Structure 1
Amino acid sequence: MIRPAVVADLWALRRRPQRRIFCYTEAMLASGYRPLAVSLRAVLGLLHDDVATLVLRNRGVRGYLQALKRAHAPELDLVYLAGFAGADQRMPNGDVWHALVEDIIARAGQARIERIFAAVGQRFDDVMEILRQLGFQAYAQQQLWMLPEPVLEAGSALVALRRQQRRDAWPIHQLYQRVTPRHVQQAELPRSTAWQLPRPRRGIGWRERGWVLGSDDALQTYIHVLTGPRAHVLRMLIDPAVRDLSPALLRYSLSQLSEARTVFAVLRSYQSELGSALQELGFRLRGEQTLFVKHLTATARQPVRVPGLVPNGPTTESVTGLSRLPYAPCQSAPEAMATAEHESMMGRV
């Protein structure tokens, strides 16, 4: 039986799983991630409908899936899968995870989610195969680089950028369209408003900043930094015309980070030449991911009754683990994980 996690499941989830997979997002890198802590806050109603936590029970807890809503779009990220040993050994982890992912797809369709994403580490071929069987498509590769402690040498070359402003959202979107392959754009379908920085958060250790280079109508560089309780996460869009300046551009961004934290850089495969600039600044490659997406059909987004998912009779409770209302902006994933402790990503990416 698969259902949303309830308080009674949390004790079982304290056990170390037989196997677990983290699908790291930028927010997870910035904060660290403890699935039990996030589940507890979700069960207690502290995270609204931002978190979907599903449990598969078969003579005890056998499987566990967690997904997070994105803050500004009707989209979902699969972030965690776990398999637990059980009395019935005839159901291996692969079958458990297949059932859980299939279930979250049905629930997401009822909640009018349009796309489900998953960033899977290169070592997890079995998880990739499960996603492919369920209609996910791989659309890009990305590398995760890490700099334990940014140190700028005296006399290093810098190129000054200006701080991102609200009017820059559309020029940044145009830069994204210029440097991003068409098939990736069709997979992600970002809105121009997705590039706007959120309002500053207070007292929870989160901060988002952006820097740009170029004229208002033709930006050449965009560098975004998400700062969480444990790390900074850097993402960049750099026009090929100025990529020779990449070390100096990145060095300037690092010089603006006053908080002494580890820095991660997320680098897409179609900008792989920027890896040499990261190496020059002391970054080290820590892992690679394959990015998957599943687009949900218009039919699946209609709120319908599905046997086994929605109980008979009226109810005022959420029975899907996701909001069944049309999407509206809600609390962001970083805020949802502000108290999670940092875990090493070695061997999990």
Structure 2
Amino acid sequence: MPRFLRNIFPLNPASRTWICEDHWRILGFAQVQERPSHTMWDISYLASMVQRNLSGDEVLMALIEYMLEMAPGHGILRVFAKVEDEIPEQELFQRAGFQRYARELTYVYDPNVGAQFIAPSNIDPNVGAQFIAPSNIDTNIGSQFIAPSNIDTTQNPNLSSLRRWNRHHVWGLHQLYRSVTPQRVQMAEMLENSEEFAKLTVGSLRPLPSPLSRGRENYVCDVGVRLGAWLQLCPSHGSGPHQLSLVVHPEHAELAEPLLQFGIKKLQEKSVRSIYCQVHEYESIVIAALRNSGFEHTTTRAMLVRHIALLATRQRTVPALEQRVVYGVKGLGTVNSRQQ
């Protein structure tokens, strides 16, 4: 798809699927989604079919290895996966060179168990069916830079800084990520470009027509010197649950619970059903707010990364050390060093 169309439409054409088969008999399949940077893949599906004469682990391992062989040819530097914690299949990823760098926790809010917010009476209170957390959620944006008209900031004084997402929040959102995320995780994810990070987190950076946005809403708390928090609401359009995402700056922990209450109320006004929120293990502020707001922890997934080594196609001499006296460092010599 041309770049200008990719910027307009919230589609991700860069998904690749591989099938493992034997004499036209499907043994398994794998699928990856390419991130906006075009140098990283997320494994979205990996499955093997039940076979009498072949182990499912062998099929899965063959698919993983083939996927990693294909990655360098597409310029991929990192491959990410999320696997249920402490299941036997996690060993397959470890054997393939994947490393765990964090854990992702899923919390679910059941409106029928101790619900704090009641939807209007004209809404059919049908609770969604079985909870399934999608592995790749498209996140599109709104365009107004105004406080939502239905927010009563007199009753929610901590939300007086709440604004709808706007493109000029790109840099601030990336700084919010850096303030929350441990260094080891930043090194694993290498999300150094603020616009690419915003596309991965929020979606298209251009305002989208209502049918394309699918009702998703993005908010930030602009406290002046920084973004104090980011909130995304993804209402369900089928039988599944709503989704809520929240990131809160460590110095603005007081925003967490009011934002959750605001998000729950907005989603339940659309339809009364379960809400799930995925949060990293190190985001203690959000975890505490989820627990206090009636969310229950359901699953834990290991976040894995595999670094891909690309073959250098051209050998050349590069400077390893420059003349260090230029930088005012005394006693270290002035000889240039070069390495092949």
Q: Same fold (TM over 0.5)?
A: yes
Give the drift of 1:299: 2.2
Give the drift of 1:143: 0.5
Instruction: Indicate if the aligned counterparts of 1:67 and 1:78 stay in contact, CA closer than 8 A.
Output: yes
Q: Which residue of 1 aligns with 2:22?
A: 58
Q: Which residue of 2 aligns with 1:114?
A: 77
Post-superposition Cα deviations, 1:38-73, rounded to whole Å, max 9, x if no partner, equal xxxxxxxxx884322211123522222122223454
After TM superposition, the structure 1 = structure 2 runs for residues 195-274 of structure 1, keeping only pairs within 5 Å, are 195=198, 197=202, 198=204, 199-200=207-208, 202-203=210-211, 206-229=214-237, 230-257=240-267, 258-260=269-271, 261-274=273-286
Structure 2 residue aligned with 1:128, among 67, 90, 112? Answer: 90
Give the drift of 1:239: 1.8
After TM superposition, the structure 1 = structure 2 runs for residues 1-349 of structure 1, keeping only pairs within 5 Å, are 49-59=13-23, 60-71=25-36, 73-87=38-52, 89=53, 91-124=54-87, 126-149=88-111, 152=117, 158=156, 159-160=158-159, 161-190=162-191, 191-193=193-195, 194-195=197-198, 197=202, 198=204, 199-200=207-208, 202-203=210-211, 206-229=214-237, 230-257=240-267, 258-260=269-271, 261-299=273-311
% identical aligned pairs: 25
Residue 279 to residue 100, structure 1, CA distance change in 2 (3 Å) = same
Give the drift of 1:166: 0.9
Q: Which residue of 1 aligns with 2:124?
A: none
Give the drift of 1:130: 1.1
Instruction: Indicate if the aligned counterparts of 1:157 and 1:248 stay in contact, CA closer than 8 A.
Output: no
Distance across 2 between alignment mates of 1:67 and 1:164: 28
Post-superposition Cα deviations, 1:162-221, rounded to whole Å, max 9, x if no partner, equal 112111110111111111100111111222112254242543673443222233442221
Give the drift of 1:146: 1.4
Give the drift of 1:78: 1.0
Give the drift of 1:254: 2.9
Q: Which amino acid aligns with 1:56?
A: C
Residue 63 to residue 185, structure 1, CA distance change in 2 (3 Å) = same
Distance across 1 between alignment mates of 2:106 and 2:215: 20
**Which segments of structure 1 move beyond 4 Å, counting only runs of 4 or more?**
153-157
Aligned length: 252
Give the drift of 1:273: 4.3
Name structure 2 gaps, 5 residues minimum: 1-10, 120-151, 314-340
Q: Which residue of 2 aligns with 1:337?
A: none
Instruction: Indicate if the aligned counterparts of 1:171 and 1:217 stay in contact, CA closer than 8 A.
Output: no
Secondary structure of the residue aligned to 1:242 is helix
**TM-score of the aligned structures, taking structure 2 as reference length:** 0.66
Q: Which amino acid aligns with 1:104?
A: M
Q: Which amino acid aligns with 2:259?
A: L
Residue 297 to residue 208, structure 1, CA distance change in 2 (3 Å) = farther
Instruction: Indicate if the aligned counterparts of 2:16 and 2:33 stay in contact, CA closer than 8 A.
Output: yes
Instruction: Indicate if the aligned counterparts of 1:61 and 1:86 stay in contact, CA closer than 8 A.
Output: no
Distance across 2 between alignment mates of 1:182 and 1:71: 22
**TM-score of the aligned structures, taking structure 1 as reference length:** 0.64
Q: Which amino acid aligns with 1:175?
A: L
Residue 248 to residue 206, structure 1, CA distance change in 2 (3 Å) = same
Instruction: Indicate if the aligned counterparts of 1:74 and 1:115 stay in contact, CA closer than 8 A.
Output: yes
Distance across 2 between alignment mates of 1:72 and 1:225: 24
Instruction: Indicate if the aligned counterparts of 1:205 and 1:228 stay in contact, CA closer than 8 A.
Output: no
Computing the radius of gyration from Cα coordinates, the structure with the larger value is 2
Higher relative contact order (CA 8 A, sep 6+): 1
Residue 273 to residue 103, structure 1, CA distance change in 2 (3 Å) = same
Instruction: Indicate if the aligned counterparts of 2:246 and 2:286 stay in contact, CA closer than 8 A.
Output: no
Give the drift of 1:151: 5.2
